[in-house]
C-alpha cells in the first residue's frame, strides 16, 4: 500500500548529485580531487568525447560533449579516466539507501537524482536543516556532493536544485515564479527540448512568462496534453506526489509474435525484431514513456524458452534504439536453433517529461555530432537568414 501525504502544504526536495560520474571517480581515487579531471568514453583518442568533468575542469571552459583534444588544448594537465558504469550504479544505490534513512518517501528518477517528500518530518520550518543534513551525510559517508531544491511541488523543486551548483541548497516559492522563472527563455524550463522550443518560438513564445500567460486553447491545439502540463508548470502548478513505489510499479511494454515457419535465417529474424521494435516504440510513444531494460524472448522449435536482457543507462523509446539493443542481444546469444517465437520487452519505464539523460558510452558520440550540427545550422542561418537551411529527413 502506498504511503501518500494528503496535506496540501507540501514540501518537496529534489536532490541532484553534482558531476556524479566524476565525483564517484574522485571518491574512489582521492588523488583526483581538487584537480581538472574528466570521464571520457575513449580517453586515449583525441576525438573521444567527455562524458562529464569536474568543476575544476569547468573553470577552464571545459564542458560535457567536448572532445578530449579540445579539452586538452584548454587544459594540457587535464586528467582523463574511462567510465565505469557498474561503479556508478553501486554509488547510486548507496545514495538512495542513505536518503531512505530520513523518510520512506523517496522517489529515484534517474541514476543521480531523486524527489523526497519531507512534509511529515519537518515541513518548510525545518526544510533547510533536513536538506543540509542530507547533503552533509552524503558528503561525509559517501564522499559525494549534491545540490538540493526545496519547493511546494516537484517541478519547482527540480528547477530550484539547478540554481546553485555545486553543493547548493535553494528554496523556490510560488510567489517567486514571476520574478525568477518568467524572464528565462523557454528552453531553460524542464520538459522543453529544442524541437518544442522552436515550435513555441514560432508561436511567439520566447520566455517562460510568455508560455505562462498564453491561453490554454492555443497551447493545447499546438502541443496537446503535454502543452497543458507545460502551461501549468510555467504557472507553478504541479500536482504529482512523491511515489516511492513508482519504479517498482512501472509496467513493461512488449510485443511478441509466432513465426509462420521455424526460422533459421538470421536476416529474417532481424526483420521480425525490427517490426517488434516498431510496435513497442509505438506503445511507449502512446503513453509518453521510455525504459532502461530491454529483454528479448526466444522460443525454439522444440518449445524451449530463452530470455536475455540488458540494462542501459539512458531510457530508450525510439524504434531504432530498441531494435539496436534487441538485435545485438539476439546475435550474441542465438545459437542457430530453429526459432518458433520472438519477442521484445522494454521495462523499468519513466515518463518522458521526467527524462533525465546522463551521457554514456552508448550515446556521447551522438551528442557531439548533434551539437556540431546545431552549431553549423545556427551559423548558416545567421549568414543566409532564419529558415533558409533545414536538416535533411530520411
State the catalytic residues: 113
**Phi, psi for 53 (deg, rounded to 5):** -150, 160
Query: Would you say 284 and 253 are in contact if contact means Cβ atoms under 8 Å apart?
Result: yes
Could you check whether the bond before residue 48 is cis, i.e. omega within 30 degrees of 0? Answer: no
Please name which of 261, 279, 268 lies closest in space to residue 327, comparing C-alpha atoms: 268
Q: Which three cell numbers stand for residue 212?
A: 505562462
Q: Which three cell numbers stand for residue 189?
A: 524550463
Residue 215 assigned to a binding site: no
Residue 234: strand, helix, or coil: helix
Local structure of residue 46 (DSSP, 8 states)? T
d(CA 251, CA 387): 41
Residue 112 assigned to a binding site: yes
Give the distance, in angstroms, between the CA of residue 337 and the centroid of all CA atoms in the same chain: 38
d(CA 358, CA 379): 27
Q: Which residues define the annotated binding site for Mg(2+)?
A: 16, 112
Amino acid at each position: 500500500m502506498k504511503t501518500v501525504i494528503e496535506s496540501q502544504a507540501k514540501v518537496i526536495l529534489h536532490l541532484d548529485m553534482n558531476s556524479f560520474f566524476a565525483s564517484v571517480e574522485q571518491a574512489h581515487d582521492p588523488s583526483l580531487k581538487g584537480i581538472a579531471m574528466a570521464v571520457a568514453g575513449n580517453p586515449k583518442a583525441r576525438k573521444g568525447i567527455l562524458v562529464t568533468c569536474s568543476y575544476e575542469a569547468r573553470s577552464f571552459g571545459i564542458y560535457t560533449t567536448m572532445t578530449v583534444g579540445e579539452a586538452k588544448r584548454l587544459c594540457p594537465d587535464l586528467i582523463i579516466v574511462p567510465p565505469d558504469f557498474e561503479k556508478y550504479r553501486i554509488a547510486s544505490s548507496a545514495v538512495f539507501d542513505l536518503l531512505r534513512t530520513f523518510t520512506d518517501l523517496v522517489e529515484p528518477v534517474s541514476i543521480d537524482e531523486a524527489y523526497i517528500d519531507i512534509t511529515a518530518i519537518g515541513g518548510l520550518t525545518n526544510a533547510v536543516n533536513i536538506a543540509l543534513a542530507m547533503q552533509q551525510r552524503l558528503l561525509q559517508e559517501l564522499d559525494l556532493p549534491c545540490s538540493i531544491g526545496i519547493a511546494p511541488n516537484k517541478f519547482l523543486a527540480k528547477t530550484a536544485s539547478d540554481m546553485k551548483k555545486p553543493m547548493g541548497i535553494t528554496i523556490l516559492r510560488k510567489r517567486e515564479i514571476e520574478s525568477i522563472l518568467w524572464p528565462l527563455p523557454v528552453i531553460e524550463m524542464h520538459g522543453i527540448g529544442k524541437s518544442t522550443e522552436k515550435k513555441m518560438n514560432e508561436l511567439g513564445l520566447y520566455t517562460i512568462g510568455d508560455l505562462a500567460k498564453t491561453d490554454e486553447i492555443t497551447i493545447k491545439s499546438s502541443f496537446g496534453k503535454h502543452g497543458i502540463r507545460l502551461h501549468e508548470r510555467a504557472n507553478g502548478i504541479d500536482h504529482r506526489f512523491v511515489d516511492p513505489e513508482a519504479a517498482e510499479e512501472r509496467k513493461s511494454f512488449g510485443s511478441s509474435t509466432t513465426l509462420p515457419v521455424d526460422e533459421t535465417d538470421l536476416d529474417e529474424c532481424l526483420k521480425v525484431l525490427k517490426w517488434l521494435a516498431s510496435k513497442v516504440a509505438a506503445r511507449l510513444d502512446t503513453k509518453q514513456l521510455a525504459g532502461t531494460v530491454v529483454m528479448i524472448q526466444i522460443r525454439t522449435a522444440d518449445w524451449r524458452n530463452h530470455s536475455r536482457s540488458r540494462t542501459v543507462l539512458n531510457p530508450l523509446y525510439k524504434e531504432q534504439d530498441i531494435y539496436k539493443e534487441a538485435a545485438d542481444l539476439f546475435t550474441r546469444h542465438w545459437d542457430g536453433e530453429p526459432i518458433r517465437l520472438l519477442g521484445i520487452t522494454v521495462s523499468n519505464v519513466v515518463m518522458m517529461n521526467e527524462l533525465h539523460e546522463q551521457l554514456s558510452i552508448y550515446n556521447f558520440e551522438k551528442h557531439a555530432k548533434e551539437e556540431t550540427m546545431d552549431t553549423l545550422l545556427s551559423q548558416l542561418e545567421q549568414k543566409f537568414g532564419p529558415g533558409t537551411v533545414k536538416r535533411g529527413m530520411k
